[in-house]
Amino acid sequence: MRRAHTVEQVRAAEAELMARLPEGALMQRAAAGLAYAVIDLLGSAYGRRVLLLVGSGDNGGDALYAGAMLARRGVQVEAWLLSDQAHESGTTALRQAGGRTITGEPTRPDLVVDGIVGIGGRPGLREGAQAALEAVAGIPVVAVDTPSGVDVDTGELDGPHVEAALTVTFGTHKIAHLVDPAARASGAVQLVDIGLDLPAAAVEALQPEDVADLLPRPEPDAQKYVRGVVGVRAGSTQYPGAALLSVAGAASGLCGMVRYVGPESVAARVRDAHPEVVGEGRVQAWVVGSGGGEHAGDELTSALADGVPLVIDADALAHLERPPADAVLTPHAGELAAMLGADRADIEARPLHFVRAATERYGCVVLLKGRHTLVAHPDGRVRATTTGTPWLATAGAGDVLGGLVGALLASGLTPYDAASVGSWLHGAAATLASRGGPIVAGQVAASIPAAVRGLPGR
């Protein structure tokens, strides 16, 4: 599990560890990890040029000590001091190792290290830092811990900030690494273990091993009803494709049977495409709403009457009052904006805030679709999905996701696990289908079995 902690949690863990270590040992651990990451990104050390952008905090100290280590490996290191309170012993170490400090225009470097603001800094950057970044525009940046200028605990942006190619973080991930829009500014994230003892995380991201552990496996004596039956009430004569795609996501083999309920003309197309799908009957979960049009409210009422867990998507979201606690809501930013009476741009700028607000309002799990989809539980837990590809932004992909989550609900997973595992598999399947190129939603559904087969221990 990739775990992201708050600044307060990290500060407390660091203080506890520093009380047991020699002075400066923790910073040296961080600096060593940073230096190795820089060399790895450069591909070599001797003769390369690295510029450190150094503020007044401990991140600046990490950068300076890493710069000293790089200088001893033959890197030409300059430190642009953006504060007259730069880390004193780190500055001395850099100079003694052969690096130099500057206060103005640098020699054009191969790589920039962002040590401007630490994790306790406020969003945005001062004019001096902005000017320094403008002077090195176009050069890859390695951020120390988090990109300077982002809101570390919310993933939000408010003003100028660093756009990193790589972020090297210490002890644990921070929320800004997993939650957009700050996660986009973090680039690739490399974690350096410095020995912190941390409490439960504020935000998590499933990894392949976690998905493999959570995903239900058929027992040797399994039969289709024991594995779970999911019902799909999606699509309409106006939007028949939504039914086909929702069923495709549900009929990926992760539960024992799929039932489809809808207009006969649509049902005939579903049966032609998926002959294993049957009609109305008893189910362990429902998927409702995708392409439902004007009848989505009626379909939602019928599904709710069964008293089983359900996935509520698209058109059905407009008919919500108080869903049951075992429901999963799957809005995109526009749909969530309508549900909460908010502006779509605000949802996209503050997804963590609004997905938590939605769980509080509706009392059930909410899956907010996005580049890093967020799954929130009413008890405060949040998981971010980091699988996927930009090519997944294609019509019908959400229909496939709803069907997939519904199948996992029917197989016995809790709403929170079904939503987060389903989102992870959806992204992994899209990456497999894409292979770096464009895809359509049906290809994502077809690649779900391959994504499952690729899990550890499968």
The per-residue pLDDT for 104 is 82
Return the residue matching tokens 């800094």: 121
Distance CA 221, CA 122 (A): 57
Distance CA 141, CA 446 (A): 38
Distance CA 50, CA 270 (A): 59
| Domain stop point among 172, 204, 236 | 204
pLDDT range class, residue 6, cuts 50, 70, 90: very high
Mean pLDDT of the chain: 96
Return the residue matching tokens 């489809």: 260
Same domain, yes or no: 50 and 192: yes
Same domain, yes or no: 179 and 292: no
Cβ 70 vs Cβ 38: under 8 Å: yes
Position 393 in a domain: yes
| Domain stop point among 204, 219, 237 | 204
Q: Is the pLDDT of residue 120 over 90?
A: no
Same domain, yes or no: 200 and 239: no
Position 458 in a domain: no
The per-residue pLDDT for 105 is 84
Distance CA 103, CA 83 (A): 9
Position 235 in a domain: yes
Same domain, yes or no: 159 and 22: yes
Give buried/exposed letters for 282-318 (b at 16+ CB in 10 A, else e).
ebbbbbbbbbbbebbbebbebbbeeebbbbbbbbbbe
Segment 294-339, tens digit of pLDDT: 999 999 999 999 999 999 999 999 999 899 999 999 999 999 999 9
Same domain, yes or no: 105 and 199: yes
Give the domain extent around 394. Answer: 208-453
H-type alpha helices, 232-332: 240-250, 264-273, 296-305
The per-residue pLDDT for 458 is 60
Q: In whole angstroms, how far apart are CA 347 and each of 260, 339, 383?
A: 33, 11, 17
Q: Is the pLDDT of residue 454 over 90?
A: yes
Same domain, yes or no: 169 and 242: no
| Domain stop point among 187, 204, 221 | 204
Q: What's the CATH number where 278 sits?
A: 3.40.1190.20
Cβ 64 vs Cβ 91: under 8 Å: yes
Same domain, yes or no: 151 and 257: no
What is the DSSP track for 343-366? -HHHHHH-HHHHHHHHHHHHSSEE
- H or E, element range at 182: helix 182-186
The per-residue pLDDT for 103 is 85
Q: In whole angstroms, how far apart are CA 112 and each of 1, 46, 78, 93, 144?
A: 30, 16, 10, 19, 11
Same domain, yes or no: 135 and 212: no
How many domains does one find in the chain? 2
